[in-house]
Amino acid sequence: MKKQRLWSLTLWCFLLPAMVMWSSSCAKKGPEIPDNEPPPPKEKVEGVDYFLPHIDLTHWKGNLPVGSPSEVEPPEILNYATDERLKEFMYNDSTDGSLVFYAYPGSSTPNSSYSRTELREQMEPGSNNTNWTFAQGGRMKGTLAMADISKDESGNYHRVIVMQIHGRLTDEQRDMIGEDDNNAPPVLKIYWVNGKVRVHRKVLKNKSASDREILFTSAWTDESQSFQQEVGFDKFSLEVVASDGMLKVTLNEGESMLFEDEDLRRWGVFENYFKAGNYLVTRDEGAFSKVKYYSLEVSH
């Protein structure tokens, strides 16, 4: 029995230093990332690691909650870390490899009451005139998290739109219905609402509306539902896939919502573009939100 205890003590003395080294090595690793996602790019400044987001802004325009509101197009947006217009609203968190989008109630676009720090897809950098249809298809995938957000007077968190597919009239459609701009409603809006992901998509109020009537924003209304999984303030992934008459939204590469119906088939007359970021849905004084994006990619 004494020999067995002596052998156990000797073995423990041999293993303990290795376990301490293993624990120390684990503590120095970078930010945790979801399965199947590459680690964040890493650089060194004076010997200290810092991490960068997986986001190429070459085909994105930035909208800010200040100015008329202010817009920053590529290639200027690529310098967001040093651009004085952007530094307050778009900045890197080098501790976890995210791009932070900060927003508060301020300037809004002509077709909205709310402000945002948001990216608008530009298939042709610097131009809003080249967009895509559902027949052509599109896919957007991002990994993100709600970093911080204010509450309303009832104690509920304010709502934020983190992704969209926005519609756009062609010049011919705009002139046909006598509009003064090319704005069409967003067919898809994905919200963060009290820790859950809620999906809003457009459906026709009148299924018998004519081809001309459906070009008006007033012809459409929202239909919405939430994913069962709660994301809270944790990192999560969203994938949006659009094709002819079909729309699919997937949360964390698992739970999905699939839409295939006459409403989406008729939506095919519109052009579209992706949006991602922090669209704060409140005008409450003192409200704010911070959304982190770790990765964002688009393909067609």
For the whole model, what pTM was predicted? 0.85
Whether the CB-CB separation of 141 and 253 falls below 8 Å is answered with no
Neighbouring C-alpha atoms within 13 Å toward the C-beta of 27? 6
Q: Is 207 within the bounds of a domain?
A: yes
> What are the two backbone dihedrals, phi and then psi, of residue 152, each rounded to the nearest 5 degrees?
-85, 180
Is residue 274 pLDDT above 70, yes or no?
A: yes
Q: Chain centroid to CA 218: how far?
A: 26
CATH number at 223 reads: 2.60.120.200
Q: Is 12 within the bounds of a domain?
A: no
> What are the two backbone dihedrals, phi and then psi, of residue 108, each rounded to the nearest 5 degrees?
-135, 165
pLDDT 10s digits, 93-145: 999 999 999 999 998 887 788 999 999 999 999 999 999 999 999 999 999 99
Q: Is 36 within the bounds of a domain?
A: no
Q: Is the dihedral of CA 39, 82, 65, 218 positive or negative?
A: negative
pLDDT 10s digits, 221-269: 999 999 999 999 999 999 999 999 999 999 999 999 999 999 999 999 9
Q: Is 16 within the bounds of a domain?
A: no
Q: Read off the pLDDT band of 13 (50, 70, 90).
A: very low
Q: Is 85 within the bounds of a domain?
A: yes
Rounded Cα distance between 187 and 174, Å, is: 18
Question: Tell me, what's the pLDDT at 110?
Answer: 77
**Number of folded domains in the chain?**
1
pLDDT 10s digits, 152-208: 999 999 999 999 999 999 999 999 999 999 999 999 999 999 999 999 999 999 999
Domain containing 81 equals: 43-299
- Residues 6 or more apart whose CB falls under 8 angstroms from that of 294 comprise 33, 37, 40, 53, 54, 96, 97, 98, 99, 142, 143, 144, 145, 235
